[in-house]
Chain A
Amino acid sequence: MATGIRDKVAILGMGCTRFGERWESSGEDLIIEAFQEALADAGIEKKEIQAAWFGTHIDEVNVGKSGVPLATTLKLPFIPVTRTENYCATGTEAFRGACYAVAAGVYDICLAQGVEKLKDTGYGGLPATTAFGQLQALVGPNATAPGLFAQLATSYFAKYQVDPKLGKKAIAHISAKSHANGALNPKAHLRKVVSEEQIINAPMIAYPLGLFDCCGVSDGSAAAIVTTPEIARSLKKTEPVLVKALAISVSSGEEALFTNWDGAHLETTVRAGQMAFKEAGIKNPREEISMMEVHDCFSITELTVYEDLQISPRGKAIEDILDGFFDLQGKIPCQPDGGLKCFGHPIGASGLRMLYEMYSQLLGRWPEERRVKNPRFGLTHNLGGIPSTNVCSIAIIGR
């Protein structure tokens, strides 16, 4: 009878590059930067890594397909390296592969790394791809991610009869809060404080999302080295950070094709959340989750995720947001590192960057000004695709 991942895997070390427009670095340079930090943090030698999982999403730029680029860059000695790709859950999928290998007892020490070098595209934004298949290219509207997620906002505001001004204020608060956090973080790309007013005054990108409701494009890499809790304890002589849950939920097709989805929430997040909380033994997320990194590609996504993760009651996220519930000093700090808003979204790396932040917070590594007090469970959340058709990954780690 399967028993889930809880407490079967420990994180031995993690690394994360500075995210941003890393003009001076190719994908390989970013891989090395994150890996070196993770290796040093783990306190092991490279040859002790027995298998690796490598997350990259975009083929058109970046480092190429397959797991080979990771191995040839780091000179991994002929060990297994598997490429994972699952839209924005790519990084978490790499982590999941490494964790399952350790939990299955097949390997003792595994590496999970993600990288995305996007700034060779030549123009702003993600390079055009047929990420959604051939038919979508023929029949889908000429859409951008902001436009696709903006629909979450028009649907949410309509469903809960939210005055658009109040809705705008709430999502502005979400972004303002993340920018305040990012300003304190040397690894973030954007480190400027932005006020709610400045966010509301900003021009529209895709109604009703404005300039500051959308994350940017950047380069980055992050890595994690995982092992069994026993090995971690013997090496580190301290209580390690343990993996409590790893959940993935993929759309079944019914949101887009059937009639029950209301357009105002992310069903995969609900299901992945349920799976993750069950796996971690969490009965009341609002009370038990200490901090979160959720997929704030767009501020409205973060809003609905608060409800989808059963933290805010349905239709009530705005109250919690304006109360400061998710601010750094609030009950459940969300995006304590600044989130996608301040880091951008190098797709293969983001999931691991989120884990890096939760991991570092659990170990109390940050200066006082951006530390979460006494965290117990940290949750990461990624969402890739479009609101009606997507993959959601959730990881919960704790100590």
Chain B
Amino acid sequence: MAGIVSFGAYVPRYRLKRMTIFGAMGWINPANIMLAQGEKAVANQDEDSLTMAAEASIDCLRGFDRSKVDAVYFASTTMPYAERQNAGVISMALNLRDDIRSADFSGALKSGTSALLSALEGVGSKSLRQAVVCASDCRLGKMGSPQEMIFGDGGASFLIGEEGTIAEFKGSYSLTADFVDHYRGSKTTFDRQWEDRWIRDVGFDEFIPKAVGGLLKKCNVQLGDFSKIIFQCVYDSERRNLAKILKLDPARIQDPQHNTIGETGTAQSLIMLAQALEEAKPGDKLLVVSFGNGCDALYFQVTDGVSKLNGRKGVKGHLANRAELNSYQKYAVFRGMIPVDIGMRGEADFITRWSFLWRKRKAVLGLIGSRCKKCGTPQFPPQRICANPECGAVDQMEDYPFADKKGRIFSYTGDMLAASYDPPELYGYVQFDGGGRIMCNFTDCALEDLKVGMPVAFSFRKKYYDEKRDIHGYFWKAVPQKEVA
């Protein structure tokens, strides 16, 4: 029976207190004070929905053999590319095979569960052995908007398969509706919504119970059978209202992490599902309901396997890795909402040469180097002639992935002159455990944190954005790790 084999999540390190937003923008919309509790997770300047989905997937796939993954599905309403398959880029970051299926799911906040259903059905019908499904969003509300207050950034990822499942898929029920509680046209950046009261009364109040009811009937189960009910709803009061309508035991409602992460859009129901799995026991039944132009309701039953799955950072681990973003202006500049002077140096034109990138795609997107078969030396970037001065063998290399390798800082600097969105620009050499060296940026840290010899791990990040040509470029950066005793 198809089900979830593994899961992962990603919550960005930066947290922006809602009062900081209100402090900056409350003058234009004082009503936002009602929403100014807690904090939300915000992507760093070098992150977007694609990188977060890739990171969530890396978390999910840790310790798993990736050679049986036959499909990768990515769901988001804020994909960097309208055309250049985003799932394809993620596939390269995950070093998946070439002969697999891939698809971008978009257009609605329920795309995440839609992608999950497609994967589950693909595996269930034996068309796919395993599939990776990831979802994330990096949504923007206009400055001073309620959306800006409540949106948060994050991602989740699931490995779907038949063998070794930690949660079996038991059934689903879907509703499709052109119910426009909010929308974004293809040329727009910011979310627009209709009246809150209408959205609650005609939207959530109607759709969530209908979806739940439909699933219960179809699968012949009772609401009381479920240990956790996961449903997506942006309004706190409405959540309480739905709990009343559905007669839910409050202890069984999955925490939406509204005041710690925020509303993560397409990823919302999946992040909640990941967290439910983190806390689940074998035998638990989980009900997941997404909302966005309709609903998908999914029913999972947790197996014994869940207690054997460990080593994921998940929601819990990422929530704990926290740094305060104490400047609203930084947030607005990171998200490209306000024009900023990056200096003439930052305007230097760099042409992405697609023919070149195609040849180097494994090195650039996958951080795949080469290892000499003759002397065993790993090297990055991949070489044809071995860099070991004692060896020098020609064309005796095999692919050597570096993305999952640990390393240590070999040299570093904090550069005040380099064009940077968050000066100083931090970079230096990393010496990989096992061999190989790379000069790269350090991210998710400050200059004071860096020391020669410090351990680092690698993270898939946005390397550059060509404004002139609307090109997002990706590569890997080193993130300092706390020493584990």
Q: Which residues of A contact B (CB under 8 A)?
A: 122-123, 125, 128, 130, 134-135, 137-144, 146-148, 150-152, 154-155, 158, 203-209, 252-254, 256-260, 263, 388
Docked-complex contact B388 and A146, CB < 8 angstroms? no
Docked-complex contact A263 and B411, CB < 8 angstroms? yes
| Segment with Cβ contacts to A, from B85-93, B99-107, B236-244, B439-447 | B439-447
B485 at the interface (CB under 8 A from A): no
Once the chains are docked, how many angstroms separate the CA of A260 from the CA of B387?
A: 11
Q: B406-457: which have CB < 8 Å to A? A: 410-420, 424-425, 427-429, 431, 435-437, 439-441, 447, 451-453
Over the window 337-362 of chain B, the binary record of Cβ atoms lying under 8 Å from chain A Cβ atoms (1 yes, 0 no) is: 00000011100101011001100100
Contact flag A128-B447 (CB < 8 Å), given A142-B418, A254-B389: no
Once the chains are docked, how many angstroms separate the CA of A125 from the CA of B419?
A: 12
From A130, A258, A388, contact of B379 by CB (8 A)? A258
Once the chains are docked, how many angstroms separate the CA of A44 from the CA of B415?
A: 49
Docked-complex contact B363 and A259, CB < 8 angstroms? no
Contact flag A143-B425 (CB < 8 Å), given A254-B389, A388-B439: yes
Docked-complex contact B441 and A139, CB < 8 angstroms? no
**Chain B contacts of A257 at CB under 8 A?**
379-380, 383, 387, 436-437
Q: A205-B417, A257-B383 are in contact. List 8 more A-B contacts (CB 8 A).
A: A138-B360, A138-B364, A147-B415, A204-B424, A252-B389, A257-B436, A259-B436, A388-B439
**Chain B contacts of A134 at CB under 8 A?**
353, 356
Q: B365-418: which have CB < 8 Å to A? A: 377, 379-381, 383, 387-389, 410-418
Docked-complex contact B439 and A135, CB < 8 angstroms? no
**Chain B contacts of A122 at CB under 8 A?**
344
Once the chains are docked, how many angstroms separate the CA of A388 from the CA of B387?
A: 13
Over the window 460-471 of chain B, the binary record of Cβ atoms lying under 8 Å from chain A Cβ atoms (1 yes, 0 no) is: 000110000000
B475 at the interface (CB under 8 A from A): yes
B250 at the interface (CB under 8 A from A): no
**Chain B contacts of A204 at CB under 8 A?**
414, 416, 424
Once the chains are docked, how many angstroms separate the CA of A16 from the CA of B386?
A: 44
**Chain B contacts of A260 at CB under 8 A?**
389
**Chain B contacts of A252 at CB under 8 A?**
387, 389
Contact flag A254-B387 (CB < 8 Å), given A135-B360, A135-B381: yes
Contact flag A142-B388 (CB < 8 Å), given A256-B439, A263-B411: no
**Chain A contacts of B343 at CB under 8 A?**
123
Docked-complex contact A128 and B345, CB < 8 angstroms? yes
Once the chains are docked, how many angstroms separate the CA of A254 from the CA of B428?
A: 17
B317 at the interface (CB under 8 A from A): no
Once the chains are docked, how many angstroms separate the CA of A139 from the CA of B464?
A: 10
Docked-complex contact A123 and B345, CB < 8 angstroms? yes
Docked-complex contact A138 and B473, CB < 8 angstroms? yes
Contact flag A137-B350 (CB < 8 Å), given A155-B452, A257-B380: yes
List 14 interface pairs A-B (beta carbons < 8 Å), by A numbering. A123-B344, A125-B417, A134-B356, A135-B356, A138-B352, A143-B415, A143-B418, A146-B413, A147-B414, A151-B413, A154-B411, A204-B416, A254-B387, A388-B439
Once the chains are docked, how many angstroms separate the CA of A164 from the CA of B381?
A: 33
By Cβ-Cβ distance, the 7 closest A-B pairs, closest first, are: A147-B415, A128-B348, A257-B387, A151-B411, A141-B427, A150-B413, A158-B452
Q: Which residues of B contact A (CB under 8 A)?
A: 343-345, 348, 350, 352-353, 356-357, 360, 363-364, 377, 379-381, 383, 387-389, 410-420, 424-425, 427-429, 431, 435-437, 439-441, 447, 451-453, 463-464, 473, 475
Residue among B357, B388, B418, B425 with most chain A CB within 10 A? B418
A253 CB → nearest B CB, Å: 5
A301 CB → nearest B CB, Å: 14
Docked-complex contact A141 and B379, CB < 8 angstroms? no
Docked-complex contact A258 and B452, CB < 8 angstroms? no
Once the chains are docked, how many angstroms separate the CA of A90 from the CA of B166?
A: 64
Docked-complex contact A147 and B425, CB < 8 angstroms? yes
Residue among A138, A147, A158, A263 with most chain B CB within 10 A? A138
**Chain B contacts of A259 at CB under 8 A?**
377, 431, 435-437
Docked-complex contact B381 and A154, CB < 8 angstroms? no
Closest to A153 in B: B413
Contact flag A142-B379 (CB < 8 Å), given A123-B344, A206-B414: no
Docked-complex contact A139 and B364, CB < 8 angstroms? yes
Docked-complex contact B439 and A140, CB < 8 angstroms? yes
Closest to B442 in A: A141
Closest to A137 in B: B350
Docked-complex contact B411 and A258, CB < 8 angstroms? no
B23 CB → nearest A CB, Å: 30
A217 CB → nearest B CB, Å: 12
**Chain A contacts of B435 at CB under 8 A?**
259
Docked-complex contact A207 and B414, CB < 8 angstroms? yes
Once the chains are docked, how many angstroms separate the CA of A45 from the CA of B453?
A: 61
**Chain B contacts of A130 at CB under 8 A?**
350
**Chain B contacts of A142 at CB under 8 A?**
418-420, 425, 427, 441, 464
Docked-complex contact B429 and A388, CB < 8 angstroms? yes
Residue among A205, A208, A260 with most chain B CB within 10 A? A205
B378 CB → nearest A CB, Å: 9
**Chain A contacts of B380 at CB under 8 A?**
257
**Chain A contacts of B412 at CB under 8 A?**
151, 154
Once the chains are docked, how many angstroms separate the CA of A135 from the CA of B363?
A: 9
A213 CB → nearest B CB, Å: 12
**Chain A contacts of B447 at CB under 8 A?**
207
**Chain A contacts of B413 at CB under 8 A?**
146-148, 150-151, 154, 206-209
B48 CB → nearest A CB, Å: 17
Once the chains are docked, how many angstroms separate the CA of A141 from the CA of B440?
A: 5
**Chain A contacts of B437 at CB under 8 A?**
256-259
**Chain A contacts of B463 at CB under 8 A?**
138-139
**Chain B contacts of A207 at CB under 8 A?**
413-415, 424, 447
**Chain A contacts of B379 at CB under 8 A?**
257-258
Once the chains are docked, how many angstroms separate the CA of A146 from the CA of B413?
A: 9
Residue among A146, A151, A204 with most chain B CB within 10 A? A151
Docked-complex contact B475 and A147, CB < 8 angstroms? no
Docked-complex contact A253 and B416, CB < 8 angstroms? no
Docked-complex contact B418 and A147, CB < 8 angstroms? yes
Closest to B434 in A: A259
B432 CB → nearest A CB, Å: 9
Once the chains are docked, how many angstroms separate the CA of A322 from the CA of B464?
A: 43
Contact flag A139-B418 (CB < 8 Å), given A154-B452, A256-B437, A259-B437: no
Docked-complex contact A253 and B381, CB < 8 angstroms? no
